[in-house]
Every structure is written in structure tokens, then in C-alpha cells.
Amino acid sequence: MSITHAVVWLDHKEAHVLHFDDKGAENAKISAHSKHKHLHSKAGTVGSGHAAEDQKYYHEVAHALADAAEILVVGPSNAKLALIKHLHKHDPAVADKVVGVESIDHPSDGQLLAYARHYFLKVDLMRGTRPIP
């Protein structure tokens, strides 16, 4: 399959990566290595009260997206923004392929694929890379 698009849904625990074109789709699931915890700090303590981001997890997600021509990043939390930040710092070639970042809840893989197909249809029509139906 000649992969043209990819969508990744992620939170701090796992990522669902789907590569697809008009003929089919391939999916992969990537689990985070560290357990993301919500930390709370008391006044006068050292630190931000936030757990460090799992850079190995984000690197694995970036590697899974590397072959796509265009990428949509979605998810319910700020993990999608942490991925974008990671891509700009560590994987700029992958960052250049990101065409959108959207907030969505927890879809099934089928719902995620349908959402991404609809999203990229609009992107392709705007760019003129797909004929108007």
C-alpha cells in the first residue's frame, strides 16, 4: 500500500497510529513506558508539580509516523501538544508533515479512521490535490 496519510490519537498512556490511503488502512498501538501521574505540590516545595514527559514514547510515535506524507494529530489531552513540541525539537522532518492538531475524545479505531478520512478529504480539496466530487 502506498501510504499517503496518517492519523495518531494519543494520550499519556498510549497512541493509536493509523496509516491509510483510498484502498485500505494499517494500524499500530504504542504504549507509554512510564506511568503518567498527576503530581501535586504544596507551597514551598521544589519542582513544578508535573511529571516529566516520556520522550522515548514520543520518539516511538514519531518513528511510527515517519513514512506518512501528511499527519493529523488528535487526542483528548495535552499529550498531542507534547508530541508536537517533541517533533519540533527532535524530529523536524516529521513535524513538517503535520497538517493539523485536533481535540477529540476516545474514538474506536474505525471512528478514528472515518474522522481522519473526512479531515483529509477537506485538506486535499483545499490544496487542489483531489478532484472536486
Q: Please tell me whether residue 133 adopts helix, strand or coil conformation.
A: coil
The answer to whether the Cα torsion of 14, 60, 51, 35 is positive or negative is positive
Pairwise pLDDT comparison (82 vs 53), residue with the higher score: 82
Mean pLDDT of the chain: 85
Pairwise pLDDT comparison (54 vs 89), residue with the higher score: 89
Pairwise pLDDT comparison (58 vs 38), residue with the higher score: 58
Pairwise pLDDT comparison (76 vs 51), residue with the higher score: 76
- Report pLDDT for 127: 73
User: Residue 86: CB partners within 8 Å, gap ≥ 6?
Assistant: 53, 55, 58, 59, 62
Residue 18 has pLDDT above 70, yes or no: yes
- Beta strand 98-103 with 25-31 is unpaired
- Report pLDDT for 1: 44
Q: Where are the chain's structural domains?
A: 5-33+53-127
Query: For domain 5-33+53-127, which architecture applies?
Result: 2-Layer Sandwich (3.30)
